Chains A and B, each alone.
Chain A
Amino acid sequence: MVQDPSYGEELHLTIARVLNSETGEVRQRFSQYTDVDHSLEEGWEVDYSSTGNVFTEKEVAYCVSVPGQNQWAQLESTASIESALEALSITNTSPHTNGNVDSGDTADSGFEVASGLASKYPLPGENHTAALVKFYSPSAAPKASSVIDVVGIYELGYNSKSQESDEERKVLWPCIHAIYYTDIQLHNLVPSLPRLALSAYIARRDMCLSHLTLVLGGDELAAQYLLLHLLSKSVRVQDAKVGKFSLNLIGVPSCEKKQQQQQKEQSRRFNFNNLATKWIGDAIAQLVPCSVELPFELGLLNRSAFLPNAEHGDLKAGVLQLAPGTEIICDETCLHEGTLDEHGVRNLHALQTSILEQTVTYLYPFQPIDISTNLRILVLSTGKSILQNDCDVYLADTAVRFFAKIQSGTSVDMQPLDPMHTEQIRQYLELARCLDFNIPKDVSDIISSEYADSRRCAHKNGEQMMTQEDLALTVTVARLISISKGQDVLDLASWREACTLEQYRKERATKAKSARPASGGEPSS
């Protein structure tokens, strides 16, 4: 992932004329795609006044391994390259081609090889690799937070930005001189995507749904919504963001405070301590290429930075600077009473903005810049979440009991998913998400008149009227249902299904709202 696309610019003397002052002989030295200085023999000198010197400009970008990339996606995408790399032994003078950003190889000669700056990786405490990628046609440099595939020449070089102290000067940085690069999407990390027939979509949908139902303790409705959530992606239409579908699963048992305090000292890493949320997190990590776990512990919220910040020079990464298409799982069950300081409030506000508007603000000095992103956010909470989400789903009682059991530490017997099936589900999710979508005129007319009718009826009976937001949400649900079946055109059946699904969800919500306060003990906001 490109963490900082404008890490620096360098001018480069690509072709240098060298002159032998004794014999008057002139030679040319070429240094495209390398930063290593040519050492000159005695008597030779660079003729700076020559017209034959050619300068080129290159743009340096700071790249890190894709944050939150799950183990399986890593293995698949880099296995071949890593083995190839092992065959070639990299030293700091002999250049070799290299296909991926993340490849660290230690060199000799008493220099250390930098393993990346912690402040420039979105997830604190996480191991990662970093490299400087140098682009030779600066106008085509990639955008911040995009994921790229680079073909280039690997070299260990100096970081011209961190040269202040002698110690820093000894650190060699992995550099890739890009010959070619392309933007990739996260689904490119899933290996060997086949083309699926319509019937195959439906079969895999059923497989996926039954798996998710198992994960959610038999709650079919919640599983359906979770599936829809996993299939969502936000698209920019005119100046509105459309298609985002952040989901709040309500009813996950809360984490004991005692338990949390024990872990408090442990580390700054983002990890779920609640066994129940961990269960869901792990299950999702198996299915999507990139997912990030975000526990809402007061300490973490107050300490970590969610927004990328360049106010003190370098662009420091924030937790929300993630590759487009990353799944964020927020665990609100570990949030307890305490003080949320200004920093924490800002962090939560940033998260809320990215839920509602799908933008992340990069804090450049004096002029914050909003950059649009595409993150799927799943909030697990006990009561209604403090964040405003597109869709709230109360878990069924069976599921609540199921998670309570997991949390108490009793092992749940669930058959591990067949590796082949896992792979099929992964493929299905990525393929379905990329489907184009269209609403034909006749269906859209029906939707419009139904909307108008329902409002008229509601108005007559003095009930709550359907609002624009409700309609937008239902259309989103219909869209997701439709693509989950592999259809790229909305048909009436899917629309009806969406309406029914929404109906069920609302019924459950009203039931839960009326039941929960009575049962007591459940914090609800």
Chain B
Amino acid sequence: MGSQRDRAASRRHRHELGIRSQTLSSELGDGEGAGGEEAEGTRPAEIRTIWGTTVQLREVTNMFRDFLQHFTPSHRPPETHSLNEAEMHEPVYPALIRKMHEAEIYQLNVDAQNISAYPPAQGLYKQLVNYPQEVVPLLDYVLAGLYMEQHPDADMDLAGELRVRVYNLSSTTNMRDLNPDDMDKLVSVRGMLIRTSAVIPDMKRGFFRCMQCEWTTTVEIDKGVINEPRQCGNSACLQKDVIELVHNRSIFEDKQLSRLQETPEVIPDGQTPHTVTVVTHHELVDVGKPGDRVEITGIYRGEPVRTNPRTRTVQAIYRTYIDVVHIRRLGRSRAVVDQARDAGEGDSGGADGAGGGTQAFTASEEAEFRRWARDPRLFAIMARSLAPSIYEMEDVKRGVLLQLFGGVRKQFARAGAPRARGDINVLLVGDPGVSKSQMLSAVHGLAPRGIYTSGKGSSAVGLTAYVTRDPDTRQLVLESGALVLSDDGVCCIDEFDKMSDSTRSVLHEAMEQQTISVAKAGIIASLNARCSILAAANPVDSTWNRALSIVENINLPPTLVSRFDLVFIVLDSVDEAMDRRLARHIVGLYVDEPPAPAADELPLMSPERLTRYIAYARRHVHPVISDAAADALTHAYVDLRRMGRDSTAAASTSAAVHAAAPSGRVTATARQLESMIRMSEAHAKMRLSDSVDPVDVQEASRLMREALRESATDPRTGLIDLDLLNTGFAASDRRQLDAIKRETRSLASYHSWLERLNDQSYAPVPPRLFDQVIRELSTEGIVSLVGSGRNMVIVVKQSALAD
């Protein structure tokens, strides 16, 4: 069995990677010093293999040398590069080595895929993966040789410092699946660094001196131990136990122990995460910090648990760890990062930045998604799969789904143009006990990055960002709040209505500008908060009052409400057929074995699938609005606006005074058009389509109307009026307002205005309207106000009475 053989071999070569070059020079024979001149071809063609392996020294060195000198991007499959012809045939690595020299960075990142794609180096990749302990030092050695050739003036000592860092293996291993077969092989694992130790100086060469005769010797590290010489080596001395270690002449190297923990995506349901120890040396120390998601390429090793090193025993138990060859930091976000952002940040760890934070989508997965996307019932299937335990609320689910996909963020090229947000904000208002919170938590589970907060418990700083003093360094640091943390995700805010006003006010900026500005304690910053907001609120009197409009029902400033693209009102309405179905659904949950889904029922997508699908769509689909769709959008918008005008004739009877003037109802504003665009884009994304087509617009405008019908309907006239959302005053309110104002003005003197008004009018005058009248009258200079609240005294100005 191969795995046992190489494990055995590595016992002999159990030196730490950190000191690998020194050992190597002796293995390659005396004629070649580290970084010595090219010896190839001058020697008889003897085959030297590393004992116990199939690694042939000469062959490996030649192959890698050839690879470094002659590999060009043209060897890779063409679609992976977008280079021009000249660049395609330019060898990659000599240029990189030159850069190394200029930047004085003595490590070379080598993409393992390049090695396996380079035909002359056939077999090198396999040997590298199977015998990394032998092959990696050889690669270093070859690199040192080439480096010295290119830069003969370089310091000779450098040769020992040069490192080849291999990364991007064909497959990454799941931490859970690491097993004895992987021992001493090159593996690649992904995970999150959870702890890093302090930097430990690790002795790699001990310097010893005899206290009697000043005889000195050095001892290399062997199997992790430096064996102290027991006897003086000077033949004239030969004293025992007089050898002392001279610290400042010994050679140390940085070493760090870290722990890598599995990331949530790979943990099976109900299991706890696994961890593995990783050991980093030298330049790799402190590359990763706790909390970073990293991909580690390294050698999986075992080390005996030394219970009693003195006795001669078979040491049966080994602890495992990974000796790191390369660390690549992955994005910190959970699943999806917009492509645009990736390019801006750059890839700090990897050489060419291929692949971002996401797990790559496999071809089969992609095919599956495409298959889903072709299903005409796609939207319905997905809406059903979103929180399947929540019954009905089909339109709400659809709206939330579009929110998850999100529109396209637009940055206009022309200078000074604003950024248009692509995120869709949704507000759910409704009676208690209609699973609003459940919906929120379902979204929180699915969203690429989600933060769930409750309005009651959040403060303004908790949502935005706050400045604190770091306990260790006493420096001011900026801590991100929920909105900033959910940048590029969905921020779910429950109990939105119970938020304090000051907290809510910070949302104004976040929702339209998508930034959070902080100016305090010497820190002035503007942070990105490009998140969509899903909020849930209860009506003022805990249950929805049908006689009142939305603004009266929810105690939210209209300016804030208007920033939501979709406002859904979820009512606990009495509908016998629906109640019956709902009851059956609830009862059905209690049956131990759920009945097999009926044939005509829609198939369900599992939450994991759905998440992946959304991630895929968000990452790879960037639909552009087609001409047809643009037309459709224009039509839909005009239609929506016309809804205000068409019904004017019908409504005008109630407004006799304003018969000539339009009713002033507004059904759609530019904000609604923007929302519609975003939603159409989201719908196209869901279909994995690269263009927004009229179908998308249809669905978006349908949802829009649906939401508008519920939220912006004036309870008195039964007509949609967006002014209700934008200013809080419906057109009918306005007309009433005018009538009252006129009436008020005609009153000769002021004495309990309200009561008299009420006596006169056929319908009671709501105090809210009356207050507004008074305020407007005072700004018009007709009355002046003394005092405030109920005790307010209203004095009619004589000048006003005169006319």
Residues on A lying within 8 angstroms of B by beta carbon are: 4-6, 8-14, 16, 18, 29, 31, 34-40, 44-46, 48-57, 138, 143-144, 158, 160, 163, 169, 235, 237-240, 242-243, 310, 313, 315, 362, 364-367, 369, 371-372, 436-439, 444-445, 447-449, 451-453, 455-456, 459, 465, 467-469, 471-472, 475-476, 479
Contacts and interface: CB of A to CB of B under 8 A. Distances in A.
Contacts of A52: 4
Contact of B589 (A143, A238, A315): A238
B576 interface: yes
A163 B311 CA distance: 18
Nearest to B307: A158
A55 B302 contact: yes
A318 to B, nearest CB: 13
A468 B586 contact: yes
Interface stretch (B7-15, B155-163, B352-360): B7-15
Contacts of B589: 237-238, 240, 242, 472
Contacts of B8: 48-51, 53
Nearest to B264: A367
B270 A11 contact: no
25 contacts: A8-B319, A11-B317, A11-B319, A31-B314, A37-B316, A48-B8, A53-B4, A55-B302, A55-B318, A158-B305, A239-B388, A239-B607, A362-B272, A367-B264, A369-B272, A438-B593, A447-B587, A448-B584, A452-B579, A456-B576, A465-B572, A468-B433, A468-B435, A468-B582, A475-B590
A40 B315 CA distance: 11
Contacts of B520: none
B1 interface: yes
Nearest to A55: B180
A49 B312 contact: no
Nearest to B259: A313
A5 B12 contact: no
A6 B316 contact: no
Contacts of A452: 576-577, 579-580, 583
Contacts of A469: 433
Contacts of A437: 590-592
A448 B273 contact: no
B44 interface: no
Contact of B313 (A40, A53, A315, A367): A40
Most A Cβ at <10 Å: residue of B314, B586, B588, B591:
B314
B667 interface: no
A404 B5 CA distance: 77
A433 to B, nearest CB: 13
A18 to B, nearest CB: 7
Interface in B538-585: 572, 574, 576-577, 579-584
Contacts of A239: 387-389, 442, 607
Interface in B276-323: 290-291, 302, 305, 307-308, 311-320
A471 B586 contact: yes
Closest 4 CB pairs between A and B? A11-B318, A448-B583, A48-B11, A37-B313
A369 B267 contact: yes
A444 to B, nearest CB: 5
B290 A365 contact: yes
Contacts of A45: 312
A444 B587 contact: yes
Contacts of A13: 314-318
Contacts of A479: 590
Contacts of B419: none
B636 interface: no
A295 B290 CA distance: 37
Nearest to B607: A239
B221 to A, nearest CB: 18
Given A11-B318, A11-B319, A451 B4 contact: no
B377 interface: no
A177 B313 CA distance: 21
Contacts of B387: 239
B318 A12 contact: yes
Contacts of A365: 192, 194-195, 261, 290
B270 A372 contact: yes
A13 B302 CA distance: 10
Contacts of A467: 432-433, 572
A11 B302 contact: yes
B718 interface: no
Contacts of A169: 307
A160 B277 CA distance: 14
Contact of A38 (B194, B316, B319): B316
Nearest to A158: B307
B74 interface: no
A160 B305 CA distance: 7
Given A38-B314, A48-B8, A366-B192, A448 B580 contact: yes
A365 to B, nearest CB: 4
Contact of A471 (B576, B577, B583): B583
Contacts of A475: 586-587, 590
Nearest to A444: B587
A5 B4 contact: no
Contacts of B291: 366
Nearest to B182: A57
B275 interface: yes
B584 A243 contact: no
Contact of B314 (A40, A56, A366): A40
Most A Cβ at <10 Å: residue of B272, B579, B582, B593:
B272
Contacts of B577: 452
Contacts of A14: 316
A475 B583 CA distance: 10
Contacts of A57: 179-180
A143 B586 CA distance: 30
A11 B321 CA distance: 11
Nearest to A44: B312
Given A16-B316, A158-B307, A51 B576 contact: no
Nearest to B276: A9
A206 B270 CA distance: 38
Contact of B261 (A367, A436, A439, A468): A367
A437 B274 CA distance: 37
A438 B592 contact: yes
A51 B1 contact: yes
Contacts of A11: 180, 183, 302, 317-320
A414 B574 CA distance: 51
Contacts of B591: 437-439
A49 B320 CA distance: 19
Most B Cβ at <10 Å: residue of A4, A447, A451:
A451
Most B Cβ at <10 Å: residue of A8, A138, A237:
A237
A134 B315 CA distance: 17
Contact of A243 (B1, B308, B432, B590): B590
Contacts of A444: 583-584, 587-588
Contacts of B12: 48-49
Contacts of B584: 444-445, 447-448
Contact of A315 (B272, B305, B319): B272
B319 A160 contact: yes
B391 to A, nearest CB: 8
B307 A37 contact: yes
B314 A369 contact: no
B123 interface: no
Contacts of A439: 587-588, 590-591
A468 B586 CA distance: 8
Given A436-B592, A465-B572, A144 B272 contact: yes
Contacts of B307: 37, 158, 169
Contacts of A10: 305, 317-320
Contacts of A5: 271-272
Nearest to B308: A37
B594 interface: yes
A395 to B, nearest CB: 27
A438 B316 CA distance: 54
Contacts of B588: 439, 444
